[in-house]
Chain A
Amino acid sequence: MQTIDLEAEGLRHLNATLHAQSQETNQTAWEVINPRGSHAIACGLDAPIEVAVKGSTGYYCAGMNKQATVRVHGSAGPGVAENMMSGMVVIDGDASQYAGATGHGGTLVIKGNASSRCGISMKGIDIVVHGNVGHMSAFMAQSGNLVVCGDAGDALGDSIYEARLFVRGSVKSLGADCIEKEMRPEHLEILADLLEKGDCDAKPEEFKRYGSARKLYNFNIDNAY
């Protein structure tokens, strides 16, 4: 296990060291101590390494991640795992706004709650939230899956495209063009897999599925307001 003290060694040293890890690196286990809410921790990684951040992070932790597994032993600030491409990011605590924004792939697991705009503009990422998500989550979500084991706030899935949303608890309100959809066997299968990946013991049958009514797909003046 390699340990980097962020406070002592600085952000540039931390990220440059992690970026220098190659596909074949045998230094696969990393620990970051004293993160103290710093921004851009472990962003832009692109190697099969595991990074444990021992504390809470600021903005954009694990942003644009590829391949790596990043675990935050604390809570994460805004934009955690934004635009993630692949790999896995796990937040033990809560996540602030825009968690997993525009993510193209990989899995983001939030053990606590996520704030507003979780999964905004998501483009293929899978997000599993053990708690609740705030308002405007999955806004303009294009593809991928958002699993919410708790409740969802206002305007869930507004202007959604092809992403799938699974919510176990209540949904305060659905956004424009987002509707409840039939849960078919293939969806239960996808959900079971996501729950397992997300280390979550909820049952797929307890969830409802939401997605796009596809009424906003082509410009129509009657939809404008």
Chain B
Amino acid sequence: MKDIKQDGPPRTEPIQSATFTQSINAEIRRAAATGIYDIRGGGAKRKVPHFDDLLFLGASMSRYPLEGYREKCETSVTLGTRFAANPIELDTPITIAGMSFGALSGPAKEALGRGATLAGTSTTTGDGGMTPEERGHSNKLVYQYLPSRYGMNPDDLRKADAIEVVVGQGAKPGGGGMLLGQKISDRVAEMRNLPKGIDQRSPCRHPDWTGPDDLEIKILELREITAWKVPIYIKVGGARPYFDTTLAVKAGADVVVLDGMQGGTAATQDVFIEHVGQPILACIREAVRALQDLGMHREVQLIVSGGVRTGADVAKCMALGADAVAIGTAALIALGDNDPRWEDEYQKLGTTAGAYDDWHEGQDPAGITTQDPELMSRFDPIEGGRRLNNYLKVMTLEAQTIARACGKNHLHNLEPEDLCALTMEAAAMAKIPLAGTDWYPGKPGSSY
């Protein structure tokens, strides 16, 4: 900062507090005026150690790269090889995460199905059940089994290509959900067996099991009902990844889905989103270690999510030991969420493109997180599907580019040794050597 000339006697410059920042103060004033905590959608907005803090080393004298465009670099992945008769085979390891019908409009769900199908990957239902549009347009559809059991029925269960038992979400490990009355249209109300226009609470615990021992029996029931055909995933938020993964495997999971704290949500208290859970960077190696300790790495597949945006992020997840990733927020942005073309309308809602997160209010100018027929009609599911497919293709190509540069003919051959860390924090969390060293904090055999 340059010195500014002061008139009159010398005095202290006004200094803004780093603790009481302008946005903290604004939030204090908002809380004081309304008496209500802030509820919003999206994921953590604070900066946390992330994939940007890792870099690939690339090939050199000691590593042999693959030719950028012409040499084969596989991207396929098979999920659910442990117990299921029909594991899921995907062309790309980038899957679409569970997002509820209710939070998202019917056409938005349809677009996710279309895009995922074009790209050869799976999409996932969410709270509120399975819609026919979504099933019809999704070649591979994962059916979420949630605490609320809204819309849950054995017919849809048997139509699913996999079942995902949701124990938690990265945005709110230990929390449930709430769909505000504004978004409860006739159709949403009917699917959830509740009156129109009232707030719908999604509990944080399942109604008929409490811990890993009875979850194991619940999974037995789900397998019996679906004749042991489809894979069963268990989704957990990034809380205690080593133990959560261990217990999920014990409970009989074919696949563990691990969602870090940056992961998006349709609606939760801001305090929950920003202050509960661990960043995904800190979770992946611990989950992989749990699988390795059980002799189950690659036997039980690991899908990770929470802030995955680019092919580089995908490649880094693979190098840390994941089998696949899931995207929520990024998929919505590809569909047109938070697009600056709606800036005038974001301004009217008191926000701006990129920052719009009041998804629970149902007024989304892009017509994605709404049940309002007028707003919904702005969104074209065919065009949305095309855009999502493009985006998934680009991410896959980017991940391949990196894998080839590291001399790998399959994304799954990427390994921790291909990475270095830019910060001490990332080095410690991902157990990846700090750039320029062979050391990370906590490395066995080192005294720091």
* Residues of A bordering B, CB below 8 Å: 11-12, 15-16, 19, 39-40, 43-44, 46, 58-60, 63-64, 66, 78-79, 82-83, 85, 97-98, 101-102, 104, 117, 120-121, 123-124, 139-140, 142-143, 159, 161-162, 217-219, 221
Chain A interface: which of B42-50, B218-226, B422-430?
B218-226
B25 close to A (CB within 8 Å): no
Q: Which chain A residues lie closer than 8 Å to B228 at the CB level?
A: 12
A143 and B218 alpha carbons, distance in the complex (Å)? 24
Least distance between A219 CB and chain B CB atoms (Å): 5
Q: Which chain B residues lie closer than 8 Å to A19 at the CB level?
A: 227
Q: Which chain B residues lie closer than 8 Å to A139 at the CB level?
A: 207
B243 close to A (CB within 8 Å): no
B294 close to A (CB within 8 Å): no
Q: Can you report 26 A-B residue pairs in the complex whose CB atoms are below 8 A from each other?
A: A12-B224, A40-B217, A40-B220, A44-B226, A46-B154, A59-B214, A59-B217, A60-B217, A60-B221, A64-B154, A64-B157, A78-B214, A79-B218, A83-B152, A85-B154, A101-B208, A104-B153, A120-B207, A121-B149, A123-B149, A124-B193, A142-B192, A217-B195, A218-B198, A219-B178, A221-B35
Contacting residue for B225 out of A44, A218, A221, CB 8 A = A44
* Residues of B bordering A, CB below 8 Å: 35-37, 148-149, 152-154, 157, 178, 180-181, 192-195, 198-199, 201, 203, 207-209, 214, 217-218, 220-221, 224-228
Least distance between B34 CB and chain A CB atoms (Å): 8
Q: Which chain B residues lie closer than 8 Å to A15 at the CB level?
A: 224-225
| With contact pairs A82-B208, A121-B203, A217-B199 given, residues A102 and B149 touching in the complex (Cβ less than 8 Å) | yes
Ranked nearest first, the 6 interchain pairs of A and B with the lowest CB-CB distance are: A44-B225, A79-B208, A217-B198, A102-B149, A64-B154, A98-B208
The chain A residue sitting closest to B180, CB to CB, is A219
Given contacts A43-B224, A162-B195, 18 further A-B contacts (CB under 8 A): A40-B217, A40-B220, A43-B221, A43-B225, A64-B153, A78-B208, A79-B209, A82-B208, A85-B154, A97-B208, A101-B208, A102-B149, A117-B207, A120-B207, A123-B193, A124-B193, A159-B201, A161-B198
Least distance between A80 CB and chain B CB atoms (Å): 10
| With contact pairs A98-B208, A218-B198 given, residues A66 and B154 touching in the complex (Cβ less than 8 Å) | yes
Q: Which chain A residues lie closer than 8 Å to B152 at the CB level?
A: 83, 102
A106 and B227 alpha carbons, distance in the complex (Å)? 23
| Dominant secondary structure at the A interface | loop
The chain B residue sitting closest to A77, CB to CB, is B217
Which of B37, B221, B225 has the most A CB atoms < 10 Å from its CB?
Answer: B221
Q: Indicate if the CB atoms of A44 and B154 lie closer than 8 Å.
A: yes
A39 and B221 alpha carbons, distance in the complex (Å)? 8
| With contact pairs A60-B218, A121-B148, A219-B180 given, residues A16 and B208 touching in the complex (Cβ less than 8 Å) | no
Least distance between B171 CB and chain A CB atoms (Å): 19
| With contact pairs A64-B157, A162-B194 given, residues A102 and B207 touching in the complex (Cβ less than 8 Å) | yes
Q: Indicate if the CB atoms of B225 and A63 lie closer than 8 Å.
A: yes
A213 and B193 alpha carbons, distance in the complex (Å)? 18
Contacting residue for A218 out of B157, B181, B227, CB 8 A = B181
Least distance between A137 CB and chain B CB atoms (Å): 12
A39 and B193 alpha carbons, distance in the complex (Å)? 28
A221 and B149 alpha carbons, distance in the complex (Å)? 26
The chain B residue sitting closest to A61, CB to CB, is B221
A90 and B217 alpha carbons, distance in the complex (Å)? 22
Q: Indicate if the CB atoms of A40 and B178 lie closer than 8 Å.
A: no
A43 and B218 alpha carbons, distance in the complex (Å)? 11
Least distance between B432 CB and chain A CB atoms (Å): 42
Q: Which chain B residues lie closer than 8 Å to A44 at the CB level?
A: 154, 221, 224-226
Q: Which chain B residues lie closer than 8 Å to A101 at the CB level?
A: 207-208
A124 and B194 alpha carbons, distance in the complex (Å)? 10
Q: Which chain B residues lie closer than 8 Å to A143 at the CB level?
A: 193-194
The chain A residue sitting closest to B148, CB to CB, is A121
Least distance between B51 CB and chain A CB atoms (Å): 36
Q: Which chain B residues lie closer than 8 Å to A162 at the CB level?
A: 194-195
A186 and B227 alpha carbons, distance in the complex (Å)? 43
A79 and B221 alpha carbons, distance in the complex (Å)? 11
A139 and B208 alpha carbons, distance in the complex (Å)? 12
Least distance between A159 CB and chain B CB atoms (Å): 7
A59 and B217 alpha carbons, distance in the complex (Å)? 7
Least distance between A149 CB and chain B CB atoms (Å): 23
Least distance between B103 CB and chain A CB atoms (Å): 16
A40 and B226 alpha carbons, distance in the complex (Å)? 12
Least distance between A14 CB and chain B CB atoms (Å): 9
